[in-house]
Amino acid sequence: MRSVYLDNNATTRVDPEVVAAMLPFFTENFGNPSSLHHFGTEAKTALRSARQHLQNLLGAAFEQEIIYTSGGTESDNTAILSALAMQPDRDEIITSAVEHPAILSLCAWLKKNRGIKVHYIPVKANGHLDIEAYRAALSPRTALVSFMWANNETGVIFPIAQLSKIAREAGALFHTDAVQAVGKIAIDLKNSDIDMLSLSGHKLHGPKGIGALYVRKGIKIQPLIRGGHQERGRRGGTENMPAIVGLGVTAQLTAAHLSAENAYIQPLRDRLEQGLLHSISNSMVIGDKENRLSNTLNIAFEHIEGEAILTFLNKAGIAASSGSACASGSMEPSHVLRAMKVPYMFAHGAIRFSFSRDNTEEDVDYVLSVMPAIINNFKKQR
């Protein structure tokens, strides 16, 4: 049976070049970069080289603006908590209704336990942010605006340049969860109004357990993890050198091939999208079909449960994900689809296919050979 992986927004296969670069740092080059002997200096040199590769990918002005973390969630938490801690006279946060749980869960906790006022900006039916509602929510008490660059479920891209400029003009800090955007969208932080940006290595063919937080020079942060002097005192703990080196090589490969990969991946996504819409009636693409990531297709099928579709896709060797999540024993559409007001009869049958450079036309054709029969079988059972 053929195996097709189309869940790359969840995680990606680690690139073989990345694995090869990491391996020596488990064995020969095992030194602690804080040590003064040659084992330590070799590690310190590798640490700086990796940081420079990531700086280049992000277009950051200074390598010191890059702080290594354990991943996107830690980066998001550090950004939000720091913005509040460093601005005690500001106690409001603005975010969107479709953010990742790494943002929404913390905001809910802050609202409940610390009395922080959180403005959840709604989105339109196509997944785009309500800009006027955002402007209206800004005030002198806004500590931080945090909007994702691209949505993990629909791929819809927010106009971060515009959103960050609005925040800057209002005197608020601006953070973006760019976990899905880095590696798919060209980024130039030094010429932006972005103050902080989160990313995660495993979304771009790097290892899990490593990420980074970009913090613009001059922005003060409060460490989430306190310990030694690592990361200029901004994140304690001995550096995860194999993963950091892996993320550095990932950044280097991504910067070199970003445009070519988008040009290769988007036609694959479009081939699948057009094939499914043509062969399966009562199906719809969720989100803006134009202004979205080149690799993401969220497609819904009327009156069919997404989890059931995924079960049969998995039996056929196809990995995808659902736009639904299990809540308290009953199936409910995801918070993203609810925020977009996707019709109920479609929201339950949402499936996300997300591509990477590892996918092929043969993968797409295999899905198209399997999917119509799966959906039609469910329709016959209704």
- Catalogue the active-site residues: 326
**How far apart (Å, rounded) are the C-alpha atoms in residues 290 and 298?**
13
Phi-psi region of 152 (alpha: psi -120 to 50; beta: other; left: phi over 0): alpha
Which stretches does DSSP call E strand in 74-141?
A: 92-96, 117-121
DSSP state of 188: -
Whether 127 and 287 have beta carbons less than 8 Å apart is answered as: yes
- Residue indicated by tokens 């736009």: 323
Distances (CA, A) of 185 to 12, 98, 304, 313, 326: 17, 19, 33, 29, 31
- Enter the tokens of residue 205: 């063919």
Residue 97 contacts residue 120 (beta carbons within 8 Å): yes
How far, in Å, are 67, 200, 209 from residue 62 at the CA level?
11, 19, 24
Say what angle helices 241-279 and 38-58 make with each other, to 10 degrees.
Answer: 30
Burial readout 70-107 (b: 16 or more C-beta within 10 A, e: otherwise): bbbbbbbbbbbbbbbeebeebebbbbbbbbbebbbebb
The three-class DSSP label of residue 85 is: helix
Q: How far is CA 139 from CA 88, 144, 284, in A?
A: 15, 11, 38
Q: What are phi and psi of 177, to 5 degrees?
A: -80, 100
> How far is 137 from 98, CA to CA, in rounded Å?
17
